[in-house]
Chains A and B, each alone.
Chain A
Amino acid sequence: MSFIINLAYFAAAVLFIVGLKQMASPVTARRGIVWAGWGMVLATVVTFLHPEVVGFVNYLLILLGIGIGGGVAWYTGKRVAMTDMPQMIALYNGMGGGAAAGIGIVALMQADTLAWTTQFIAVLGIIIGSVAFSGSLVAFAKLQGLLKKSIRFDRQQKINLGVLGGTLLLGLIIAFSGSQVNGTLLLLFVLLALAFGVLMTIPIGGADMPVIISLYNALTGLAVGFKGLVLDNAALMIAGVVVGSAGTLLTQLMAKAMNRPLSNVLFSQFGETATEEQGEVTGTLKPIESSDAGIMMAYANKVIIVPGYGMAVAQAQHKIWELTQRLQERGVDVKFAIHPVAGRMPGHMNVLLAEAGVPYDLIYDLDEINTEFKTADVAVVIGANDVVNPVARSNPESPIYGMPILNVDEAKNVIVIKRGKGAGFSGVENHLFYADNTRMLYGDGQKVAGELVAAVKELG
């Protein structure tokens, strides 16, 4: 029996790794998640035969638990809107962290059977799992709009350090207390670890949340790996550690794409304070009508569309795709340019465009397309602001200076679709809007996109 179980775990580990590998390319990604899914089913089913799973009541509780947790997650996962995906991932990830901590707690309650090394690793796993759990819940609350402000107070870093120190100290006491793990101490330890997760996350601004979610994802993986050690389970060890390192790399890639070193995200206060020094804006805002903008695009050779989160909020992506198809029928070369921070996290905008039916091979990221703006007749900016602000290139005084931007201003004509006047997320005035080759098309994204479609259609 043990041979069959181990064989199944081995197969699951292989399926996970191959699945993740396939998920790294858009062509095979769909297959990848299905393979990993089968790995999960296999590992779960075979665990019912595990020699350590005993007792009728326990079997019943396991089935009930899977039913409740799986059922609720299935229901919410099927219904969640694509725009809300980042916080949903945070929530599911937090649950995994909590589960890992739970394994450690049960193991410590039965500490008479553990070696001290195992006990030490169980303690580590509880800390990491608990932090990932409570931290992810805070991240969820922030992105969902339940928690609006970043909470900061005096001597915050010192207090956080104190809480972390207390957690580690209690953890050490527990790890070396042999089989006599004190229940009250254990409870206090878990509560402190949870508190640290909350304290660590509340000062971080909403814009940085994706990086934090990714970090907690990696941490949960690591906690799961540690639990694999505690339980002598290689499947947990391999899957957990693979996610731990892949998640760390992903976190670094995201932080790099957003031009925000991880240490800055964790320990600095950017994102809320906009400086007043913005330099002089020259030129005027020049409005344009939808019909004229439509004609301009219809007779262009090459159009590049730059969508931002505002487009998704206005639910304009379907109309934009329709506009793209109309233009393509007229022989216009249409491409989409995505900035890494478009949407709520890197890659989020691609998901939103994919939902509208835009094929992924029309979508280009910053490095691929930035040289092409020079050859574009029209660049259409919809719902994006800071990521196309040339100030990031030219003015060292600006708070967004140094952030890589899309060089939209190099296109022959620029059309900016915008709900109204006003600065972007960072509060910085956008010089692109005042440029000689820029025309402003005011209105709700979805309505304007519809008008553009109509304008192009009229030309036959």
Chain B
Amino acid sequence: MIEGFVALYIFMLAAFTGYEVISKVPVILHTPLMSGSNFVHGIVLVGTMVALGHAETGMQQLVGFVAVILAAGNAVGGYVVTERMLEMFKSSKGNQ
């Protein structure tokens, strides 16, 4: 569906987007932001679901199953720790 050059364009635009989005991040957010971007690549879960979803042999199912476990760990763990960190950031003026 996604032909060669279209894929290349997507890659290029996504790369610039990622760069722009965090280009002005203050040092105080480095750790949470790293954690947050770690969560975002947890989208790999969707890929592992598809991979396991059309697995045909037992071996493929095994690899796919392990991949789903790992990916779910990435997504859920990444969310939980990022949320815990960001929840604590409060301004002294009381507005969040």
Asked if A16 contacts B32 (CB within 8 A), the reply is: no
Which among B7, B27, B95 has the highest number of chain A CB atoms within 10 Å?
B27
Q: Are B28 and A345 in contact (CB under 8 A)?
A: no
Q: Is A29 engaged at the interface, CB distance under 8 Å to the other chain?
A: yes
Beyond A82-B85, A85-B31, A257-B27, whether A250 also contacts B37 by CB under 8 A is yes
Q: A73-B77, A241-B11 are in contact. Are A78 and B22 (CB under 8 A)?
A: no
Among A47, A232, A351, the most chain B Cβ lie within 10 Å of the Cβ of A351
Q: Is A453 an interface residue (CB 8 A)?
A: no
Among A17, A61, A110, A237, contact of B7 (Cβ-Cβ < 8 Å): A237
Residues of A within 8 A of B31 (CB): 85-86, 89, 343, 345-348, 350-351
Within 8 Å by CB of B41, from A12, A54, A220, A363, lies A220
Number of B residues whose C-beta is below 8 Å from A? 85
- The 8 Å CB contact of A254, one of B30, B51, B67, is B30
Chain B residues positioned under 8 Å from A343 (CB to CB): 31
- A190 CB to nearest B CB, Å: 10
- Check A33 against B39 for contact (C-beta < 8 Å): yes
Contact B83 A224 (CB under 8 A): no
Q: Is the interface of B mostly helix, strand, loop or mixed?
A: helix
Chain A residues whose CB sits within 8 angstroms of the CB of B64 once the complex forms:
58, 61, 102, 106
Is A365 close to B, CB under 8 A?
yes
Question: Does A392 have its Cβ within 8 Å of any Cβ on chain B?
Answer: no
Tell me which of B28, B50, B56, B69 contacts A350 (CB under 8 A): B28
**Is there contact, CB below 8 Å, between B21 and A21?**
yes
Q: Which applies to chain A's interface (DSSP): helix, strand, loop or mixed?
A: helix
Q: Taking A229-B7, A363-B28 as contacts, is the C-beta distance between A58 and B70 under 8 angstroms?
A: no
A/B interface sample: 25 pairs, CB < 8 A: A21-B21, A33-B86, A40-B39, A61-B52, A61-B65, A61-B68, A62-B49, A69-B72, A85-B85, A92-B73, A93-B78, A99-B70, A99-B71, A102-B64, A103-B47, A105-B63, A106-B63, A228-B47, A233-B46, A242-B21, A247-B37, A347-B27, A348-B31, A359-B91, A362-B92
Which A residues lie at the B interface, using CB under 8 A?
9, 12, 16-17, 19-21, 23-27, 29-30, 32-34, 36-37, 40, 43-44, 47-48, 50, 52-55, 57-59, 61-62, 64-74, 76-78, 80, 82, 85-86, 88-89, 91-93, 95-96, 98-103, 105-107, 109-110, 117, 213-214, 217, 220-221, 224-225, 227-229, 231-250, 253-254, 257, 338, 340, 343, 345-348, 350-351, 354-355, 357, 359-363, 365-366
